[in-house]
Amino acid sequence: MPRFPAMLIRNGNAFVYQEGRKGFMKLALTKRTWGLLLVLAVLLALASLPALAADFPVSAVLTLSPDAISGPETVTAQLQVTNISGEDMTSPVSLYDPYGKLVSVFGKGGEAALKKGASMSISAQVAISQAMLDAGEVSYTLRWQSPDGQELAQPVTAAVSYSGEKGNLRVVRTVSPEVVRGGQTVKVVYELTNIGDSTIQTVTVQEKLVKKPKSIRSLAAGDTKSLEFSVKMGNQDLTSGATIKFRVSNGSPEESTVVEDRVIPLAVYSLKANLSTDRSGVDIGESVVLTLTIQNDGNVSYSDVTATDKTLGTVFEGLEVPAGATVTQSKEVQVNGPANYKLTLNLNDNTGKTNMYETNQVQVSAFDPEKELKLTLLLTADKESLINPPEDVAMTLIVTNTSNVDCKKVEITHAGVKVYTIDLLKAGQSVTVKRDFTVSQPGQFRFTASTKDTVGNNAVFESNTLTLMRARQTPAPTPVPTPTIAPLITLPPASYEDVSQPLRIMRTVLYPVSNVLGVLSALALLLFLVSTVVRFKKRHDSDTAYDHLELAEKRDYAQPAEDSAPPEEPADAPDREEPAQDAPADEAGGELPGDEPAEEPQEEEPSSSPMGQSGGFRMTRDTQTDEFPVYSEAPEKPEYKPRRAQRVEKMVDDLADEAEDTLADAREEVTGWRKTADAVRDAAEEAAEKAEDTVREAGQNNLPDRRRRSRNKK
């Protein structure tokens, strides 16, 4: 009988199991693959609808009341059938219930021929079986014979659900042993616990390792029961997995849970153990460190590992060596004499087997300090360097026994080649070995002495390292080559034709610019000289006018003096100071030559601000009006000032104003010339730089042409 693959949906993934010769083959369908299959199925269904509607003339809708029940019972089915063919039916359609019986209440005796667009509704009682409840749906069938005699059937389904109590089952799987040796029996135990409130009926466990399932008739709430499966391990890994089905009651639908797959590996042993010491020889009473290294490359784990030695007893105990791990342990032991150490390991693996393993043997020599063998080797040579290898080198090796015991059969070797053998070397004795060697290249040389010590162990001693270097020869002087002087190239002077067109244009532009700059510079110098002469002349006139000014006791610049003679002193003014006896007449107010007589002022109040000691005058301001300021404390009469002094003062003021105007104009002109000169200078510098670049490029480009013209001229 052929076997069909079974599909299982778990956690959104679909798995297809098909039994073959070597067990079950699992084809895992990922979520993406499952989604693609679902979309493909929907598209196929949609594609078939038009053909179905075109072939089958009616459509039907089925509803159940109630649609959720707690067990097998009878419900009411409402069915409506409609003619969707677009024409009257020529042959009737029949209706069959879920059990395959004709529904007699439909039409006449279970058959009806509907008119175009007509509908027919019926109501019937249907008994819901446990199979329907497990499947979750109830299905009626419409059958119709087409005009060509073909029998067509169309199912009409409605969903039904379980509303009773549901079970809650907890499953714990235990595999023993975890790793199984070939031919060993492995046990898989399922511990089932009912953690719900209702009793679970008929729990069935189907383990993949065996063909026959095992079941439990009932499991009360809170109870725990176990089911055990046993299988013998072959020569490959096993895979454990189970599907568990159960019911809460006889009328409830069947529920299921899936236990994920677990690989039970076949035991693979791969263990290595190595024993080593930090020193191979010590003095009696000293200690050495024993190191045990266990490397587990298999999938078997070891626990409670013990390492023992015949001499030392238990060295290590309680060690754990997991699968694929390396464990290292060290211990210091005292050496009282020559000893050989070898450890025996007692290992308990996780397959339930006890294993024995022996390490390698290590030898530790113990020396009496008085009988320890000691040799020294001193290597020398007749030269330290090679001048022209290959050369012969005479080497001398002095071997000295510095211990208190004799030594026999001392072999002298170099690079593994035996050079000499000393049959007997007594305590304190020295032996000199001389050999001539042909050395082909510089390098380092060292000799080795090998012998047996007092306890029979190999003893190796090495000499010092002798280095032969290559002597550096004095190099011959390097002749100085006579430089070859390149022939002189006579270039003709550049002519106007050799200058490129850009340089000619620049010369045409810069020539008038330089002329303008020269004219502006000359004008600036001329104006500077003129302003200097005018300034010196005005200064001279000002100094001359100041020398002829009349020195008066007081000057009133607000009220100019009238042409009058100096006032006379009143007789009744005793407080007025007399002028100095030795003052000149013009300083005391006398007339100057060429002055006209001035009228005599009527009366003058003595000034409250007399002249200071230095001969100057102090100018004071009493009041200020809107028209003219008054610079006196309390003057009542204008001060006397000759007419000539007034003219001189006016001339000085005019000259000063003219000089200031001329100087301001000169400054403005100089500022403008300076800006123009700066702009012209910048333009000239930029043009000069461009001209230099152009001349350089023109010289390089025209050099062959000039040489060619020079040769033509010659």
6 against 394, higher pLDDT: 394
In sequence order, the 6+-apart residues with CB closer than 8 A to the CB of 544 are none
∠ CA(260), CA(261), CA(266), 5° rounding?
A: 150
pLDDT tens per residue, range 389-418: 888 999 999 999 998 889 999 999 998 899
The phi and psi torsions of 694 (rounded to 5 degrees) equal -65, -40
Is the pLDDT score of 274 beyond 90?
yes
Q: What is the Rg, in whole angstroms, of the alpha carbon atoms belonging to the chain?
A: 68
What one-character DSSP code corresponds to residue 642?
-
Q: What's the rounded mean pLDDT across residues 152-177? A: 82
Where is average pLDDT lowest: 81-95, 443-457, 670-684?
670-684
**What confidence score (pLDDT) does residue 189 get?**
94
**What confidence score (pLDDT) does residue 251 get?**
62
Q: At what angle do helices 643-713 and 501-547 cross, to 10 degrees?
A: 160
Where is average pLDDT lowest: 301-305, 332-336, 471-475?
471-475
Is the pLDDT score of 549 beyond 60?
no
Which residues, listed in sequence order, are joined to residue 348 by a DSSP beta bridge? 303, 354
CA dihedral 708, 709, 713, 714 (to 10 degrees): -20
pLDDT tens per residue, range 616-657: 334 444 444 444 444 444 455 555 567 777 777 888 888 888
Residue-by-residue DSSP string for 353-383: -EEEEE---EEEEEE-TTT---EEEEEEES-
Q: What's the rounded mean pLDDT across residues 490-497? A: 71
pLDDT tens per residue, range 167-189: 678 899 999 998 999 999 999 99
**What confidence score (pLDDT) does residue 582 get?**
41
pLDDT tens per residue, range 438-449: 988 888 999 999
Fill in the amino acid letter for 157. T
Q: What's the rounded mean pLDDT across residues 116-121? A: 86
Give the Å distances, CA to CA, from 85 to 117, 119, 122, 290. Answer: 8, 12, 21, 97
pLDDT tens per residue, range 565-580: 444 444 444 444 443 3
Q: What's the rounded mean pLDDT across residues 88-92? A: 83
Residue-by-residue DSSP string for 443-473: EEE--EEEEE-TTS-EEEEE---EEEEEPPP
pLDDT tens per residue, range 230-257: 999 999 999 999 999 888 766 677 788 8
- Return mean pLDDT, the chain: 76
Structure tokens at 617: 């005058």
Among 75, 190, 53, which residue's Cα sits nearest to residue 132? Answer: 75
Is the pLDDT score of 558 beyond 90?
no
Q: How far is CA 398 from the centre of its chain?
A: 64
Task: Classify strands 430-439 and 391-401 as parallel, antiparallel or unpaired.
Answer: antiparallel
323 against 134, higher pLDDT: 323
Q: What's the rounded mean pLDDT across residues 215-235? A: 90
Domain annotation for the chain: domains and CATH numbers: 1-55 (no CATH), 169-264 (2.60.40.10), 278-367 (2.60.40.10), 375-470 (2.60.40.10)
The phi and psi torsions of 644 (rounded to 5 degrees) equal -65, -40
Residue 645: which region, alpha, beta or left (left: phi > 0; alpha: psi -120 to 50)?
Answer: alpha
Q: What's the rounded mean pLDDT across residues 203-226? A: 90
Q: What's the rounded mean pLDDT across residues 475-490? A: 78
Residue 522: which region, alpha, beta or left (left: phi > 0; alpha: psi -120 to 50)?
Answer: alpha
**What confidence score (pLDDT) does residue 106 get?**
86
What percent of the chain clears pLDDT 90, i.e. is strictly above it? 25
Is the pLDDT score of 708 beyond 70?
no
Question: Which of 45-49, 68-72, 265-269, 530-534 shows the highest mean pLDDT?
Answer: 265-269
Where is average pLDDT lowest: 32-36, 274-278, 443-447, 689-693?
32-36
